[in-house]
Chain A
């Protein structure tokens, strides 16, 4: 098609409009994306590794996580359920993580046992330095797949949600 002046100008306006809309869209993205330095994105000191007892979970509200020791291994488990984001409490009687929202149950190592959760509990990276464990809440790693049973043991008592 021959490029007439009228056509050229018309396409120019369209291009200008498209640019304006993309600029508005990007501005909306900038306004809505989370701030880079959001809360809960820092290092949490979990204290002496020796102080943690095997098969127990200690809650750290500043990191919204549990420090657990399972069969000698140390984990920093996020309290947010991988199913729909509910807060998963640790059930002292059964020695498991049991979500009251939708009934997902995880073992002490954060591995999936039952319920609708698609995987085990998500965990933060841990660094042990000079006998002190530090969790980095900026690095969340997805939990193990449903099949994992490495840390599973029979419940120590009655369930909290059944």
Chain B
């Protein structure tokens, strides 16, 4: 009796099937999990979003432009997918790995010889980590050039910078864990950069590595940071980051002035108190007595997230998984000899994303290159949306910002490339085509 009643809710759409699957889908148990049938009608698509916890991260409808790949290149989403892959592969690795100098290296070898697909899991973890640093950086560049850090999204940009720093910290703490010569000396060089902080340098370095040199306590604290502290920080911050994107809406429409036009949202709703949420009210945020569907827009260019964006995200997610799996199959994560504090390999490079800093350090005073430049860079990134008050989002209307940012980003990339590819033993200049002193 109840079965017919449910299907009658969508007359003419839900075919009353008679097969086993159809009967299952109509059963009380199934309906207790999925409260309504999947219907390919506007109402059915909206229901899909309303009744699914996981789809809650998306708006119900999005501007059609968001679907274009050129809108965002899906970089933020790809970074999130990589974080997911890193979490899953990381948990696999945790089952095998012991954070102790006497055991860790043996665990890495055991992973290779004694655990089915163990080396592949490690390769995928490593490649995903490298890619995540790259993708997060590209995401930052993309958001900058779109001007999407401007009002009202200033603070979300700041959270993005926190996520970038967390990503680097993640990669750096993970770098030490294999406890081979590569990781040992890269982290030695990396943590010694901290030493150049005026006055507090030694204290910071002590807190970071827990002694005069990288040792058991360093390994343990890097492990704890890598598997407990940073995942917590990144997950919470990523949640806030995505939530704010969701609340601020996608930065798409450009008015003639170049600023994001938010005509549909900037106008206070009738009846809402003036100055409520700064005069801005949001779809699904505050609902007037009128139904939300009654909100009028000049042209309705929106599409349902389910299935349009979700399907694209599934495809991109699978593509990312395929890429890191391919990289993992093709290139093994390096494992040099057991870490030996008494033998320094030549050259000793910091992890590649800090190689630019190391390069800078070979030209300038440590205080300038090791401290002022990186601190200044992070500070400048954090303050960018508050310093750049120009509302325009088109490049031709914000030449100063674009040129400054482009120049600085270019210098950073160039230094990183030189430090990574063009430096050999004794930090001497070596052309990469003669010999590549690079291990990822």
| A interface residues (Cβ-Cβ under 8 A, vs B) | 29, 32-35, 38-40, 61, 64, 79-80, 83-89, 99-103, 115-116, 118, 161-162
Measured between beta carbons, the chain B residues less than 8 angstroms from A101 are 185, 189, 344, 346-348, 426-427
Per-residue 0/1 for B413-435: is the Cβ within 8 Å of any A Cβ (1 yes, 0 no)?
00000000000011110000000
The answer to whether A33 and B342 have CB atoms under 8 Å apart is no
Measured between beta carbons, the chain A residues less than 8 angstroms from B366 are 118
User: Does B215 interact with chain A (Cβ within 8 Å)?
Assistant: yes
Interface stretch (choices B24-32, B88-96, B122-130, B191-199): B191-199
CA distance A39 to B213 in the complex (A): 10
Min distance, Cβ A151 to any Cβ of chain B, angstroms: 22
Measured between beta carbons, the chain B residues less than 8 angstroms from A83 are 192
Q: Taking A32-B210, A101-B346 as contacts, is the C-beta distance between A39 and B426 under 8 angstroms?
A: no
Chain A residue at minimum C-beta to C-beta distance from B225: A32
Measured between beta carbons, the chain B residues less than 8 angstroms from A89 are 344
The answer to whether B342 and A87 have CB atoms under 8 Å apart is yes
Min distance, Cβ B219 to any Cβ of chain A, angstroms: 14
Measured between beta carbons, the chain B residues less than 8 angstroms from A35 are 210-211, 217
Q: Taking A32-B207, A100-B346, A101-B344 as contacts, is the C-beta distance between A84 and B425 under 8 angstroms?
A: no
- 30 inter-chain pairs at a CB distance below 8 angstroms, sorted by A residue, are A34-B217, A35-B210, A40-B212, A64-B341, A79-B342, A80-B213, A83-B192, A84-B193, A85-B189, A85-B195, A86-B185, A86-B188, A86-B348, A87-B342, A99-B426, A100-B345, A100-B426, A101-B185, A101-B344, A101-B346, A101-B348, A101-B426, A102-B348, A102-B427, A103-B427, A115-B426, A116-B361, A161-B346, A161-B425, A161-B426
The answer to whether A87 and B347 have CB atoms under 8 Å apart is no
Per-residue 0/1 for B276-310: is the Cβ within 8 Å of any A Cβ (1 yes, 0 no)?
00000000000000000000000000000000000
Among B192, B206, B341, B342, contact of A84 (Cβ-Cβ < 8 Å): B192
The answer to whether B425 and A87 have CB atoms under 8 Å apart is no
Measured between beta carbons, the chain A residues less than 8 angstroms from B33 are none
User: Does B343 interact with chain A (Cβ within 8 Å)?
Assistant: yes
CA distance A146 to B197 in the complex (A): 20
The answer to whether A85 and B188 have CB atoms under 8 Å apart is yes
CA distance A106 to B193 in the complex (A): 21
CA distance A118 to B195 in the complex (A): 12
User: Does B398 interact with chain A (Cβ within 8 Å)?
Assistant: no
Q: Taking A101-B347, A101-B427 as contacts, is the C-beta distance between A87 and B341 under 8 angstroms?
A: yes
The answer to whether B221 and A32 have CB atoms under 8 Å apart is yes
Min distance, Cβ B89 to any Cβ of chain A, angstroms: 28
CA distance A29 to B207 in the complex (A): 7
CA distance A162 to B346 in the complex (A): 12
Measured between beta carbons, the chain B residues less than 8 angstroms from A61 are 342
Measured between beta carbons, the chain B residues less than 8 angstroms from A33 are 206-207, 210
Among B207, B221, B342, B362, contact of A102 (Cβ-Cβ < 8 Å): B362
CA distance A118 to B365 in the complex (A): 8
The answer to whether A34 and B348 have CB atoms under 8 Å apart is no
Chain A residue at minimum C-beta to C-beta distance from B342: A87
CA distance A129 to B195 in the complex (A): 34
Measured between beta carbons, the chain B residues less than 8 angstroms from A80 are 212-213
16 new A-B contacts at CB < 8 Å, known A84-B192, A101-B346, A116-B427: A32-B207, A35-B211, A38-B212, A80-B212, A83-B192, A84-B193, A85-B191, A86-B189, A100-B344, A100-B346, A101-B348, A102-B362, A103-B428, A115-B426, A161-B425, A162-B426
CA distance A17 to B172 in the complex (A): 32
Closest CB pairs A-B (n = 5): A103-B426, A100-B346, A85-B192, A101-B348, A102-B427
Within 8 A of A (CB), among B330-345: 341-345
Min distance, Cβ A77 to any Cβ of chain B, angstroms: 15
The answer to whether B215 and A39 have CB atoms under 8 Å apart is yes
Among A34, A38, A79, A84, contact of B188 (Cβ-Cβ < 8 Å): A84
Measured between beta carbons, the chain A residues less than 8 angstroms from B362 are 102, 116
CA distance A61 to B340 in the complex (A): 12
Measured between beta carbons, the chain A residues less than 8 angstroms from B193 are 84
CA distance A88 to B342 in the complex (A): 9
Chain B residue at minimum C-beta to C-beta distance from A61: B342
The answer to whether B189 and A39 have CB atoms under 8 Å apart is no
The answer to whether A102 and B188 have CB atoms under 8 Å apart is no
CA distance A115 to B358 in the complex (A): 13
Measured between beta carbons, the chain B residues less than 8 angstroms from A161 are 346, 425-426
Measured between beta carbons, the chain A residues less than 8 angstroms from B188 are 84-86
CA distance A86 to B195 in the complex (A): 13
Chain B residue at minimum C-beta to C-beta distance from A28: B207
Measured between beta carbons, the chain B residues less than 8 angstroms from A79 are 342
Q: Which of A40, A64, A84, A100 has the most CB of B within 10 A?
A: A84
Chain B residue at minimum C-beta to C-beta distance from A117: B366
The answer to whether A39 and B211 have CB atoms under 8 Å apart is yes
The answer to whether A87 and B344 have CB atoms under 8 Å apart is yes
Min distance, Cβ A33 to any Cβ of chain B, angstroms: 6
